[in-house]
Amino acid sequence: MSLAVDLLIAAALIGLAVQIVVGGVLFRAIVLFIVFGLTMALAWARLGAPDLAMAEAAIGAGLTGALMLVAYRRLIEINPDKPARTERRRSVLALPVAMLASALVAMIGLAAIGLEPEPGFAGRAVMDELEHTGLGNPITGVLLVFRNLDTLLEIAVLLAAFAAARAVTVPGASPLPLSHRSQSPLVGALLAIIVPMTVLVAAHLLRVGGHAPGGAFQAGAVLAASGVLLSLTGKLVPSAETGPLLRLGLLAGLVGFSLVGLIVTGFGLPLLAMPGIWAIYAIETAMMLSIAVALVLLFTGSAGLRRGAD
Amino acid sequence: MSPREWISLVLLIAGAGFYLAGTMGMLRFPDVFCRLHALTKADNLGLLLICSGLAVLAASWQTTALLGIIWLLGLIAASVSAHLIARHALREQQSARSQSDNIR
């Protein structure tokens, strides 16, 4: 029975992927990509990786989907006459490349199924060392203790992505806010319920991240979702200047993480060693803020945000 | 199977039935309003039935409470978005009508 579910998910993933690439209609491809993200989240959950499932659903389906939809809107604003179809020039190489790629994936999969984990396996080493860190969640352990240079670089990449987006965006071209027409009173009521709830969920995800699925990336994505909601409804509007608070938020993760990592060397610890569980939580909080601010600013395509008129 | 599991099974299948009907409605109905009508039933009752089906099996009252919150949040989000989509569609219709009245 569970094999049938797995096969169904796998077939759905492949079918969706083909539809996204082959289908000619851009909007349809975006919607299917969001569905693909949600199905992928299901697949991660089935594989026993709830951390990844949450990140995939929140970032892969939710925020990336919102980014793509807002980019699509911008596209039809730039060129309303041309129907949003992608060119359908299929290369002769497409089929052979696709077949080779799937053969490669199938071979790797077959080889991986037969593998036995070795005694000195990195994953086992993490599980053995985990109790010394004071954390209960091995994912957070890897992200913040064992391989935290990678995480530091990921935060740097996010900042670089924001800088790159700033470099290519035309000033004043932000497609937001979407509607100036009278807002439905229901929207205000929705925001009054959803926004405090997302803040609560983000704080919860951050806190449980130490011993259960969750952490800075999931919490940041959830927080960013409420920012997206606020900017879609005009409560936050794009501005040309990055305010001091947003600057602080953008840099908090990278600077906080680097500072802690550097300061510990003064106490005889190796570079980027975590001096305690409090440092992990402090860094995760800073990272959550940076992730949320960077994702919302990527969505609005602006340098900053300010409060809307009402 | 224990009676508890039977109750849960019935609720889950009923919920899945609502989702199936809602999806079919969305695919088959002719316009936005009919489709929304089909979809909101799935969102409201389908989710309620699935959540209560799971709540029957839940080990603790905390899980039951969380399932209740999930249903309420889904309900709020679904009803507001359905309202917004319907309003948008109605305005599009009206502006299209007034444009054709003004002759091109």
Residue A309 in tokens: 């008129």
DSSP string, chain A: -HHHHHHHHHHHHHHHHHHHHH--BHHHHHHHHHHHHHHHHHHHHHTT-HHHHHHIIIIIIIIHHHHHHHHHHHHHHH-SSS-SB------TTHHHHHHHHHHHHHHHHHHHHTPPPPTT-HHHHHHHHHHHHT-S-HHHHIIIIITHHHHHHHHHHHHHHHHHHHHHSPTT----S---SPPPHHHHHHHHHHHHHHHHHHHHHHHHTTTSS--HHHHHHHHHHHHHHHHHTTSEEEESS--HHHHHHHHHHHHHHHHHHHHGGGGTPPTT----HHHHHHHHHHHHHHHHHHHHHHHHTSSEEEE---
Question: Is residue A84 predicted with pLDDT exceeding 60?
Answer: no
Q: What is the mean pLDDT of residues A108-117?
A: 84
Nearest CA in chain B to A192: B76
Q: Which residues contact A90 (CB under 8 A, 6 or more apart)?
A: none
pLDDT tier at A173, thresholds 50, 70, 90: low
Place of tokens 């004043």: A172
The pLDDT assigned to A220 comes to 94
Strand partners, A310: none
Q: Do the chains contact at A190 and B73, CB–CB below 8 Å?
A: no
Closest C-alpha among A71, A2, A58 to residue A30: A71
Nearest CA in chain A to B66: A201
> Is the distance from CB of A194 to CB of A229 less than 8 angstroms?
yes
Question: Is residue A39 predicted with pLDDT exceeding 80?
Answer: yes
Q: Considering only CB atoms, which chain A residues are within 8 Å of B73? A: 193-194, 197
Distance from CA of B80 to the nearest CA of A (A): 6
Question: Is residue B102 predicted with pLDDT exceeding 90?
Answer: no
Q: Considering only CB atoms, which chain A residues are within 8 Å of B91? A: 181
> Is the distance from CB of A18 to CB of A180 less than 8 angstroms?
no
pTM for this prediction: 0.85
Question: Is residue A181 predicted with pLDDT exceeding 80?
Answer: no
The pLDDT assigned to B41 comes to 81
The pLDDT assigned to A287 comes to 94
Q: What is the mean pLDDT of residues A174-184?
A: 62
The pLDDT assigned to A292 comes to 94
Picking from A184, A193, A197, the nearest residue to B84 by CB comes out as A184
> Is the distance from CB of A300 to CB of A167 less than 8 angstroms?
no
The pLDDT assigned to A115 comes to 81
The pLDDT assigned to A121 comes to 76
The pLDDT assigned to B50 comes to 94
pLDDT tier at A158, thresholds 50, 70, 90: very high
Q: Do the chains contact at A194 and B73, CB–CB below 8 Å?
A: yes
Closest C-alpha among A298, A285, A293 to residue A247: A293
Whether residue A117 is preceded by a cis peptide bond, meaning omega within 30 degrees of 0, is: no
pLDDT tier at A236, thresholds 50, 70, 90: confident
Instruction: Give the pairing type, strands A304-307 and A236-239.
Output: antiparallel
B87 touches chain A (CB under 8 A): yes
Question: Is residue B103 predicted with pLDDT exceeding 60?
Answer: no
Q: What is the mean pLDDT of residues A195-216?
A: 90
**What is the average pLDDT value for chain A, to the nearest integer?**
86
Nearest CA in chain A to B77: A190
Distance from CA of A142 to the nearest CA of B (A): 29
How far apart, in whole angstroms, are the C-alpha atoms of residue A52 and residue A58?
10
The pLDDT assigned to B40 comes to 86
Q: Percent of chain A beyond pLDDT 90?
A: 41
Q: Give the CA diameter of chain A.
A: 65
> Is the distance from CB of A187 to CB of A256 less than 8 angstroms?
no
pLDDT tier at A201, thresholds 50, 70, 90: very high
Question: Is residue B67 predicted with pLDDT exceeding 60?
Answer: yes
Q: What is the mean pLDDT of residues B35-51?
A: 89
Q: Considering only CB atoms, which chain A residues are within 8 Å of B83? A: 184, 186
pLDDT tier at A239, thresholds 50, 70, 90: confident
Q: Is A306 helix (H, G, I), strand (E, B) or coil?
A: strand
Picking from B76, B84, B91, the nearest residue to A193 by CB comes out as B76
Question: Is residue A179 predicted with pLDDT exceeding 80?
Answer: no
Q: Name which of A35, A183, A184, A190 to mutate to probe chain B: the one with the most chain B Cβ atoms within 10 A of its Cβ.
A: A190
- Chain B stretch 45-84, residues whose beta carbon is closer than 8 A to a beta carbon of chain A: 73, 76-77, 79-80, 83-84
Find the range with the poorest average confidence among A98-107, A135-144, A254-263, B71-80: A135-144
> Is the distance from CB of B40 to CB of B81 less than 8 angstroms?
no
Nearest CA in chain A to B69: A197
For the beta carbon of residue A59, count every other beta carbon within 10 angstroms: 21
Q: Name which of A186, A194, A233 to mutate to probe chain B: the one with the most chain B Cβ atoms within 10 A of its Cβ.
A: A186
Picking from A181, A187, A197, the nearest residue to B80 by CB comes out as A187
Per-residue pLDDT tens digits for B11-31: 999 999 999 999 999 899 998
Nearest CA in chain B to A197: B73
> Is the distance from CB of A231 to CB of A176 less than 8 angstroms?
yes
Q: What is the mean pLDDT of residues A228-249?
A: 87
The pLDDT assigned to A174 comes to 62
Instruction: Say how many CA atoms lie within 13 Å of A211 toward its Cβ.
Output: 4
Per-residue pLDDT tens digits for A52-68: 999 999 988 899 999 99
The pLDDT assigned to A125 comes to 80
Q: Do the chains contact at B77 and A197, CB–CB below 8 Å?
A: no
For the beta carbon of residue A7, count every other beta carbon within 10 angstroms: 10
Q: Distance of CA A218 to CAs A35, A56, A92, A209, A284, Å?
A: 19, 9, 41, 9, 11
Picking from A184, A189, A197, the nearest residue to B87 by CB comes out as A184
B94 touches chain A (CB under 8 A): no
Q: What is the mean pLDDT of residues B59-72?
A: 91
Instruction: Give A82: exposed, middle or buried? Use CB within 10 Å, 0-12, 13-18, 19+.
Output: exposed
Strand residues in chain A grouped as ranges (E): 236-239, 304-307
Q: Which residues contact A39 (CB under 8 A, 6 or more apart)?
A: A9, A12, A13, A16
Q: Name which of B9, B84, B87, B90 to mutate to probe chain A: the one with the most chain A Cβ atoms within 10 A of its Cβ.
A: B84
pLDDT tier at A82, thresholds 50, 70, 90: low
Q: What is the mean pLDDT of residues B79-90?
A: 89
Distance from CA of A239 to the nearest CA of B (A): 26
